[in-house]
Chain A
């Protein structure tokens, strides 16, 4: 590096060149010139909503090469005005974390370990279990002849982290199957 260049990079001199507070161009380096926001290269941005609590902060989901590359608060939202709390701000990790389950896990009765199971087989087996247990525990009527039309052998729990559409369709399916023990986090 030449002496002139070295002197020209001296911060005091650079500040004198029209940046008296030292917060403008004199603070920049070749390295900082190369930096860019991780959202800059996103292929597209999708409007979303934070999946944690019920405030409903709006999110912007940035997608790059088919993967979520960043999640930020959406300043357009009248509720959150672009802010996210530590959980909302960690939601990119929630959706991209390598620890998230990718494959179905199956535990046989009395087994001491998981085994693999294709999703299609799991769905088939679950459908069979529902049909079998339902038939085995079906109640047409109570002891006074009042219609019950239900099974008390199957119960479900959860829904508050699901979408509205998922809750509705699940309730509809349970009503078709006669499953009345349908509950979610609102009960606790």
Chain B
């Protein structure tokens, strides 16, 4: 669901096809019929953005039909845990949870906790101030227990306030009939999917759910994935071979860039950035974020080791290991807020490292207008991408909104070295680090980003060497000594990876994160990567051929953490440690040797017996019982219900997309009540639901990828081969919509939203089937998002149509479900383009940045 794997991840899709050849049933639930659908046993078309209705329907199907995996659910999930008596469900409050603050559009989450927990025991309390998830780093933030076992449980699952019963109540109204009515599929199609999932789960079988980044691009993005997690936990499909939730990401190192944290709210290893209003010093910070139970119980060791890798000898116990050197956050500083602050002049300098927001971010016009207000912009890329050239050929040049002669932005375009011109590692979508070697030296001014970073840092440090300003101390004291080689003084990527891995008091590379200490004797740049350089060997560079090793291929690259290929794989054995079945065995307890063993690296302490019961007062991993596989959670269980840590509810609930032509058929609350809307005259929204003017945008709009292009096109529209294979921007519509609007296959169409209007060639196809939703016919318009004004093939940008309407937990924009109008012909040129857009109803909403 939410993935067109055959086209967006074609080489990975060979494994789905291998599965099908081995007898697996392949089902595709997606608004469009794609090549993935063509190869599947079943395609179910649904309206874009209705995923939680569909998934909630599956949860209800499992619960009503008594299809859950009972032993797994009772031992490995929080189904038996009893929830606070103040908790009120969406069933009680017509689509809202308890604690909603109508004025500020945030939840006080304290009533969502487990029963019997003191408020001060729960760091989720921190969210009470409505900080909107800006510190959402790791699980320890979300639920601190005084011991590994929650205070109140009912192992029979009968207590009316136990998670299991709450789940039943919450999803009761997600009947097959309701699913069909909301999603636009048939009841039979839905039941076939739900039944196949149930029939293929249990001791002998497992089922996997695959999604791609599209699932995250919703105002309920996090809850889409949570809903899949509930299904997989109920069916016992997590931590087992052939199971799981497979997240297919879209860039070579997007996993690595998340792990190593080029994101505003986290430090490497999902360690939260310190917050100015709560983390007043190292002590406060550690108190607030260190879990008492589970592996986050060693948070202090991870964090102090990180400070040591940043500030080395300067970081000492006496100065809180330089905690004060770290900058502090105090709000949502994510990229859409940054764009608004560029527009109002607060952000003056902007550095782009292989990203092209003029095409790739939602509301491209906002992005370009914002960049035109900068003092200076640095772009590092292979080509002169749209974000480097906005001052001379943005669409806003044509409308007169940007004039080069009036634009003060100074622009530096620095050519980047390619993957063949530098050593380094990518982390792929399965957490696997793979090393690539330099094949040739880069030519001309092309340099690696490692070179740019290292030499820029070196220059700044030299210039500030004599400074006595306190603000310059963190940069002066940063450890910045890396071996260089070659004619350009290229820093050693291998040395940097070794720093990320970490070293012990003897100066030797560490082997595992268990060796990290909070006393400053170890350093480690990213605790989850600790071990990738064990025994002074770059394990990311391991390339033992696949036919010379077992199927887990443990000697090809290195997967974090600890080279485990399947996370939480203790769940592949039953509570006693025996495989659930011979067919699905992966790791198990060897009672003779007294240790866990198997085909994968066990994701459990090697010698912890399956019958281990934590003694009173046990902390960290010692507080987790032998039959609880989810060792990073404070209670060691998979969370069907999330007692703290989420901004928009402990259970996924169906809400309409922010821009939707419909009211919510399940609740009075139409859209996610705490979704983030950004108030700006350059970020207007389409009226939606029953708001006046919503009928001006009668169609659902969704965006997607093509096999032959890559994201914003900088690495594909620039190439002759790929441009020839997909030479022109287009939109996909159904024959019925073509009739309704007089659109002709091969001719032009203009697509209009409150942001802008763009033109595209019309592709009329049965693949975009009209759907029956809430008793009326609903059409969808599909557009690939790769095009822009530069490169070998040019076209309008689909992302220009979309608003910044964000998920409240992770601030990702709702790209995959909006509304639009469509009409035949090309869009107007010049200022007439804005006149057309302004003739449509448009509304300002949300909070100022």
Contact = CB atoms under 8 A, between A and B. Distances in A.
Interface in A131-188: 131, 133-138, 140, 142, 144, 146-173, 175-188
Given A49-B252, A51-B419, A86-B722, A168 B500 contact: yes
B474 A61 contact: no
A146 B354 contact: no
Interface string A85-108: 111101001110101111111111
Nearest to B714: A161
A149 B324 contact: yes
Contacts of A110: 404-408
A67 interface: yes
B335 interface: yes
B812 interface: yes
A148 B330 contact: yes
A176 B478 contact: yes
B630 to A, nearest CB: 23
A157 B355 contact: yes
Contact of B277 (A87, A100, A128, A146): A146
B428 A79 contact: yes
B564 to A, nearest CB: 15
Contact of A80 (B11, B280, B384, B435): B11
A49 B546 contact: no
Contacts of A134: 471
B367 to A, nearest CB: 10
A6 interface: no
Interface string B389-430: 001100000000000111111111111001111101111111
Interface string B483-525: 0000000010100110110000000000000000000000001
Given A67-B440, A117-B412, A188-B217, 16 more contacts: A54-B252, A56-B428, A100-B383, A103-B444, A127-B463, A158-B262, A163-B493, A166-B453, A167-B257, A175-B267, A175-B474, A176-B475, A178-B474, A179-B327, A181-B335, A185-B251
Contact of B350 (A71, A104, A155): A155
Given A49-B426, A154-B351, A175 B264 contact: no
Contacts of A75: 545
A33 B548 CA distance: 34
A55 B382 CA distance: 22
B73 interface: no
B83 to A, nearest CB: 32
A183 B262 contact: yes
B405 A112 contact: yes
A13 interface: no
A86 B708 contact: yes
B14 A81 contact: yes
Interface string A45-63: 0111111111111110101
Contact of A164 (B334, B438, B500): B500
Nearest to A188: B361
A158 B353 contact: yes
Contacts of B453: 166, 169-170, 173
B319 to A, nearest CB: 14
Contacts of A95: 418-421
A30 interface: no
A114 B747 CA distance: 36
Given A150-B327, A157-B353, A165 B434 contact: no
B317 interface: no
A154 B348 contact: yes
Given A112-B405, A150-B327, A183-B335, A56 B434 contact: yes
Contact of B249 (A54, A144, A157): A54
A176 B716 contact: no
B328 A150 contact: yes
A123 interface: yes
Contacts of B433: 164
Interface in B182-231: 217
Nearest to B422: A163
A76 interface: yes
Interface residues on B, range: 35 or more
Nearest to A164: B256
Contacts of A186: 254, 257-258, 263
B355 A130 contact: no
A103 B426 CA distance: 26
A160 B254 contact: yes
Contacts of A35: none
A167 B478 contact: no
Contact of A133 (B263, B349, B432, B455): B349
B383 A156 contact: no
Contacts of B456: 123, 126-127, 130, 173
A124 to B, nearest CB: 7
Given A105-B413, A126-B412, A157-B357, A185 B254 contact: yes
A185 B449 contact: no
Nearest to A104: B445
Contacts of B253: 54, 159-164, 167
A148 B327 contact: yes
B11 A85 contact: yes
Given A146-B280, A166-B449, A187-B263, A68 B333 contact: no
Contacts of B435: 47, 49
13 contacts: A54-B249, A56-B428, A66-B440, A95-B420, A104-B414, A110-B406, A126-B456, A130-B456, A131-B463, A159-B262, A167-B256, A168-B260, A176-B475
Given A53-B252, A77-B546, A180-B333, A87 B707 contact: yes
Contacts of B412: 104-106, 117, 122, 125-126
Nearest to A50: B252
Q: A63, A78, A176: which has the most chain B beta carbons within 10 Å? A: A176
Interface in A11-69: 46-59, 61, 63, 66-68
Contacts of B457: 169, 173, 176
Contact of B347 (A80, A136, A152): A152
Given A95-B421, A106-B411, A162-B253, A51 B715 contact: yes
B262 A184 contact: yes
B310 to A, nearest CB: 6
B154 interface: no
9 smallest A-B Cβ distances: which pairs?
A163-B424, A56-B428, A158-B355, A158-B353, A150-B327, A160-B251, A159-B262, A102-B444, A159-B257
A167 to B, nearest CB: 4
B543 interface: yes
A171 B557 CA distance: 24
Interface in B342-390: 342, 346-355, 357, 360-362, 375-376, 378, 380-384, 388
A174 B377 CA distance: 16
B8 A53 contact: yes
A175 B326 contact: yes
B504 to A, nearest CB: 19
B303 interface: no
A53 B812 contact: no
Contact of B415 (A100, A167, A178): A100
A147 B424 CA distance: 36
A147 B325 CA distance: 10
Contacts of A48: 419-420, 436-437, 439
A101 B255 contact: no
Contact of A168 (B382, B413, B474, B525): B525
Q: B257, B357, B392, B429: which has the most chain A beta carbons within 10 Å? A: B257
Contacts of A159: 253, 257, 260, 262, 353-355
Contacts of A149: 324-328, 471, 474
Contact of B260 (A119, A124, A171): A171
Contact of B725 (A86, A97, A170): A86
A107 B437 contact: no
B327 A47 contact: no
Contacts of B497: 164-165
Contacts of B8: 53
Contact of A182 (B262, B348, B361): B262
B373 to A, nearest CB: 12
